[in-house]
Amino acid sequence: MANKIVLTGIKPTGKVHIGNYIGAIKPALQLANHTDYTSLYFIADYHGLTFIQDRNEFNQLSYGIAATWLALGLDPEKVVFYRQSDVPEIFELSWILSCTASKGLMNRAHAYKAIRDMNEQSEIDPDTGVNMGLFTYPILMAADILLFQSDLVPVGKDQIQHVEIARDIAESFNRTFGEAFKLPHYLVDDNTAVIPGLDGRKMSKSYNNTIPLFESSDMLSKLINKIKTDSIPPTEPKNPDSSSIFTLYSEFAEQDQVARMRNRFESGISWGEAKNELFQVMNSFLERPRNKYDELLANPEQIDAILSHGAQKARAIAAPLLEKVKKQIGRYV
């Protein structure tokens, strides 16, 4: 039986943080080592362009995402690792799909709808701040997914709707022009911890409460010291299960260390000490990837070489399906 295709993209719209690592990158790296799957991971840079319209920022965030994956151990020989904008077939398919996708489907897509609702509440033109890229975002995402006959799309909960839209678009194309696309499934891991941010809410770029993965060790220490704690006195027992510090510690420490830390919480550890222990385990885990990340970013041509090799592999997979689709729409016989 042929391998299942696993595909996912990350859009470069902010610095990668600890939550992204635990929730998305770490599980994807594990899947990449699975021999039953062929994994395609890409930088969704043209999706990022719907938000990031500063040249330097766009450039740096895109290289930053690529360097993050590589620094954390993604082996570009084991997976197909590419930059979306290096694969023109995606954009050609995106247009073809936009001709069978209904506008109503886009009206209901949550990112667009959220802005519209906000504008309506503020009693301004509902389309203020909406570019067409943002409006048709789910069509480009459908092209990303369908062009590679993806079986599984690992995503965060917020992206489920987009994968469902990709299925709808595939069905409507298949109905109109004949079978072409496989229907993809999303893969949402409910067991993955929701990593808390500095203020105790879910860590997210949108809440400005993140610990970026690759800050200097000084900055990491400063950020860890900012994690919100309560005012229980230093020697009093503390509940590890309601502590962000303990949750983060558990993600980076060995099992026996976690057990010992649980005891220390229960018998009383000062927040200062707990933060220091957290810094130690995080810093020692991140030290090597951080060096690798800095090294890669200092040599962007090395990243380019890896990504263009990946794009060649991606295009070789994509081209035959695009040809088939073009025949089906009557572009040629």
Per CB under 6 A, residues contacting ligand ADP are 19-20, 22-24, 155-156, 158, 192, 194-195, 202-206
Closest residue to ligand ADP, Cβ-based? 23
- Contacted by 141, from ligand ADP, ligand TRP, none: CB < 5 to 8 Å by type: ligand TRP
Residue 44 is a binding residue for ligand TRP (CB under 6 A): yes
- Exposure class string for 168-202: b at 16+ Cβ within 10 A, else e: bbbeebbeebeebbbbbebeeeeeeeebbbbeeee
Helix or strand run (H / E) with residue 19: helix 18-20
Q: How far apart are CA 190 and CA 202, in angstroms?
A: 15
Q: Are 61 and 212 in contact (CB under 8 A)?
A: no
Q: Which is nearer to ligand ADP, 105 or 194 (CB)?
A: 194
Angle 195-198-204 (CA atoms, 0-180°, nearest 5)?
55
Count of residues that interact with ligand TRP, criterion CB under 6 A = 13
- Contacted by 275, from ligand ADP, ligand TRP, none: CB < 5 to 8 Å by type: none
In the region spanning residues 129 to 158, those forming contacts with ligand TRP, defined by CB under 6 A, are: 141, 144-145, 153, 155
Q: How far apart are CA 120 and CA 276, in angstroms?
A: 47
Q: Which is nearer to ligand TRP, 67 or 143 (CB)?
A: 143
Task: In angstroms, give the least distance from the CB of 186 to ligand TRP.
Answer: 9
- Contacted by 44, from ligand TRP, ligand ADP, none: CB < 5 to 8 Å by type: ligand TRP
Q: Which is nearer to ligand TRP, 10 or 303 (CB)?
A: 10
Q: Which is nearer to ligand TRP, 67 or 109 (CB)?
A: 109
In the three-class reduction of DSSP (H, G, I as helix; E, B as strand; rest coil), residue 49 is classed as coil
Q: Which is nearer to ligand TRP, 109 or 297 (CB)?
A: 109
Q: How far apart are CA 42 and CA 40, in angstroms?
A: 7
Query: What residues are paired with 38 via a beta bridge?
Result: 5
Task: In angstroms, give the least distance from the CB of 24 to ligand ADP.
Answer: 3
In the three-class reduction of DSSP (H, G, I as helix; E, B as strand; rest coil), residue 246 is classed as helix
Task: In angstroms, give the least distance from the CB of 74 to ligand TRP.
Answer: 16
Q: How far apart are CA 64 and CA 43, in angstroms?
A: 10
Task: In angstroms, give the least distance from the CB of 126 to ligand ADP.
Answer: 24
